[in-house]
Amino acid sequence: MPVLGLGTWENDDAEQCAESVRTALEAGYRHVDTAQIYGNEDAVGDGIAAADVDREDVFLATKVWIDELSHDDVIESTEESLDRLGTDYLDLLYVHWPAREYEAEETLGALEELKEDGKIDRIGVSNFEPEHLETAQDAIDAPIFANQVEMHPLLQQRELREYCADTDIELVAYSPLARGDVFDVDVISEIADAHDASAAQVSLAWLREKGVTAIPKATGEDHIRDNWESLGASLSDEEVERIDDIDRTERQVHPDFAPDAW
Ligand code: NAP
């Protein structure tokens, strides 16, 4: 899975969203993240089709919404996602939240069938805590490939990182810029100045140092390129430690159906 992807939540204008995806792919991105609930799968598909990049070279991920988690709904809604995205397979399909109709054996059993049928290459989950991951992996034989969760310097996910490292589950960081809040953290600005880099690049470089894939959302070419260039930024051990020491726990995303532990 490419370590840097393009997020698309709230990239709602269809023409703009398709243009963001095309721009990102032509700038070098090979990983695009969407979801049924974002309402932009059509536009993401249009952007991929418009880019001068083969579909097979793109790592495409979407997520099944919490109202579609019964067995038949997972299968049907995924077929609809494939149609909208203009593709016959997904590289990764996530269960968006362990909420509402989620039931580990039924829901993940349906994803396992989709994998056996060649409709999806990998099974993912999102917003799962260690106890959900344990039940999920017990429910199916296929591996849980990735857990997509909020992670950035203001929400460092130490416990989950340890659990995922021990169980070979990839972590994908959503809201990797804390939806803009990392730009106001002194330590991050100081490190950015020292590298003549942006605060966004420092946050993304720190996630990469932690072995975590990041999917910043960016709309226009400036932000898309700024984030892509984070791949050239490397932090010293001391800089990584200074960010590790930021002692804040601030979530950007906490809907009322989030896990009880939050
Ligand atoms: P984010 O990526 O942390 O932040 C996005 C915000 O930062 C946007 O306002 C964007 O502005 C701005 N930005 C991006 N690059 C910038 C740069 N280089 N300099 C200055 N500003 C910059 O927040 P997010 O959208 O919440 O998270 C990223 C993706 O994760 C989402 O789009 C979605 O794909 C995924 N996600 C998943 C879940 C889940 O439950 N699984 C939840 C939330 C998000 P512009 O748009 O104007 O460029």
Among 13, 126, 177, which is best to mutate for testing ligand 1, by the most ligand atoms less than 8 A from CB? 177
DSSP summary character for residue 15:
H
This prediction's pTM: 0.99
Instruction: Report pLDDT digits (tens) over 218-261.
Output: 999 999 999 999 999 999 999 999 999 999 999 999 999 999 88
132 and 160 Cβ atoms separated by less than 8 Å:
no
Instruction: Report pLDDT digits (tens) over 107-122.
Output: 999 999 999 999 999 9
Secondary structure (3-state) at 4: strand
Q: How far is the CA of 216 from the centre of ligand 1 (A)?
A: 5
Closest ligand 1 atom, CA of 176?
Answer: 3
Closest residue by Cα to atom 19, ligand 1, is 223
Phi/psi of residue 155, nearest 5 degrees: -155, 90
Closest residue by Cα to atom 38, ligand 1, is 174
Phi/psi of residue 52, nearest 5 degrees: -85, 55
Instruction: Report pLDDT digits (tens) over 16-60.
Output: 999 999 999 999 999 999 999 999 999 999 999 999 999 999 999
Every domain of the chain and the residues it spans = 6-244
DSSP summary character for residue 30:
-
Dihedral angle at the C-alpha atoms of 99, 102, 103, 106, nearest 10 degrees?
A: -170
Q: Is domain 6-244 in CATH 3.20.20.100, yes or no?
A: yes
Q: Is 89 a catalytic residue?
A: no
Q: How far apart are CA 74 and CA 70, in angstroms?
A: 6
Closest ligand 1 atom, CA of 11?
Answer: 46
Among residues 29, 38, 94, 163, the one annotated as catalytic is: 38
DSSP summary character for residue 196:
T
Percent of the chain with pLDDT over 70: 100
